[in-house]
Structure 1
């Protein structure tokens, strides 16, 4: 499943390179580094050590974006799908290096292999994100490093979940489209 997804993403990136170039419709005063980005996020932290996810980001204003993220790793103790608002300001000193911060809401589902069958429903969580992103100059790629944490669970169940295990530090690579 993961091999098919990665092959599909790679094929999409190879055949979509024409769309990633600058177009006449892009206004020079717009400070968004790109319009849309699709990529992967490799995270470390928690009890399993690694987590692989797919992410997509869409800028709807020059410094505001929404980001969709979903985990793919079958070895993770949690499955997380989230939608976040991201504020990514332009720095006066750099056009390509941008910090960002965001807040989002997601569905967190613990894996029953690790927590038993008593955990069988989704938990709605709030997750803040803070990080940095660098967009390469000649290649339509953006590289990011961030910290994502689940700090508030909205579901009140009888099972106590350790939210610390779903917080992680991630390295992302996104293919950007203008």
Structure 2
């Protein structure tokens, strides 16, 4: 019978059995906050393949919500993105920016990674709008529905503005 793998750290290129994992965590109690691998591009990753010092190319805050995009470049040159989003209607969501060890994973450029994260954030906002629409009749009287929906629609417009900002269009000269 082969080794039973409990955890794989892609950035270390190492697999741990349950016993090895326990011993490693005991020897490294701050494993989540400790950089165990640095990419040649200056990004540091922890044991869980999460970048601890990502770029933050997008940070938007409005009255109705906040969203941020994180990016990092792994050893193979591929970019990955993560995000955090908090809307007035939800507790918020986040997705860490991770290590890419496969040439088919991640994104070839930082701009593509940013747009990918912004599309995910937009999906979060659209899901909130769908939930709001579904439970509209359970909201208190007095225009709360319209106010909240307008707020969420405003956030999606801000996200679309950021997507356009990171989408380069080549102009043709006549």
Task: Identify whether the pair has TM-score above 0.5, normalized to the shorter chain.
Answer: no
Greater C-alpha radius of gyration: 2
Higher relative contact order (CA 8 A, sep 6+): 1
Structure (1 or 2) with the greater helix fraction: 2
TM-score when scaled to structure 2?
A: 0.31
Relative to its length, the structure with more strand (as a share) is: 1
